[in-house]
Amino acid sequence: MPISYRYYRCEDAPVLGLEDSVRSQAQLAIDGWHGEAESSLTYVGRSDHADFEKYDCLHQVDRQVDAVFKDHDVKQLLFNVRFTAYYNRDEKYFLVQTGKKEARGFFSRLEKSGLNAEPGSLDLDLVSQLGPTTGGWFGNLKIDKVSSAGIFGSDEIVGSDEWSHYADVGVISALNMKLPSDAGVPQSVMVTKDRLVLLMQDLGENTNLHFVSKLNAEFDGFETV
């Protein structure tokens, strides 16, 4: 099953004791409810990889629903979004395992508690030099009635006419690649311009973090402003 690691640079993550948390709350406009939504980052110990601390994350968000509870129509609910985050204290970045919208909202809310983290931004043309690119997604296409498109193959396709066509009329937003691993077997991954690494095969926490941390060390030279 695929597993993702979304990069956030953080220079000042606090040192927490086991089960200690950084928390922040925000008022949400939900009819009939006057509480506050919470986000929290809770330290749960070292990960299986020695370079990373492990955290449980909670991010409460409101969502539109169409439901009934105790004979009353319900149009909006507060949901608990739970995910795992890893922090590399030497290199000063988080890897979070949630969606783009949830991750941005989570760290934005925690700014009120002094935790400042920013997403990455990659030049995917440079990233494509790391290994064979077998596919990609293009956005902002200058094509009538088409805003995005994907192109995929079984081997390197960056030099193909079709790839060149989409690169000329759009912006690359994600790459599918086969990158070398320590085991000698190429790892299939997707890399996005906001520095998400999606591993197509989950090889366990230690192996995954080792692979992704090596990638991020190379990505440091491919950052865009």
Read off the pLDDT of residues 16-63 as tens digits, 9 standing for 90 and up.
999 999 999 876 665 665 668 899 999 999 999 999 999 999 999 887
- pLDDT for position 64: 79
Provide mean pLDDT across the span 129-144. 84
Read off the pLDDT of residues 78-123 as tens digits, 9 standing for 90 and up.
789 999 999 999 999 999 999 999 999 999 999 999 999 999 999 9
Judge whether residue 154 has pLDDT over 80: no
Q: Are residues 12 and 59 in the same domain?
A: yes
Give the count of alpha carbons within 13 A of 146, CB side only.
Answer: 13
* Residues in the chain, overall count: 225
Q: Are residues 57 and 164 in the same domain?
A: no
Q: What percent of the chain has pLDDT over 70?
A: 96
Q: Are residues 56 and 155 in the same domain?
A: no
pTM of the model as a whole? 0.89
Q: Report whether 208 contacts 200 (CB < 8 A).
A: no
Q: Report whether 74 contacts 51 (CB < 8 A).
A: no
Q: Are residues 136 and 95 in the same domain?
A: no
- Let me know if residue 186 belongs to a domain: yes
Q: Are residues 68 and 166 in the same domain?
A: no
Direct distance between the N- and C-terminal alpha carbons of the chain, in angstroms, rounded to an integer: 33
Measured CA to CA, the distance from residue 54 to residue 81 in angstroms comes to 17
Give the count of alpha carbons within 13 A of 61, CB side only.
Answer: 17
Q: Are residues 168 and 74 in the same domain?
A: no
Measured CA to CA, the distance from residue 201 to residue 205 in angstroms comes to 12
Q: Which structural domain range is residue 91 located in?
A: 3-119
- pLDDT for position 42: 98
Q: Are residues 36 and 74 in the same domain?
A: yes
Domain end call among 119, 143, 163 = 119
Q: How many structural domains does the chain have? A: 2
Task: Give the mean pLDDT of the chain.
Answer: 89
Indicate the pLDDT class of residue 222, thresholds 50, 70 and 90: very high
- Let me know if residue 37 belongs to a domain: yes
Q: Are residues 166 and 87 in the same domain?
A: no
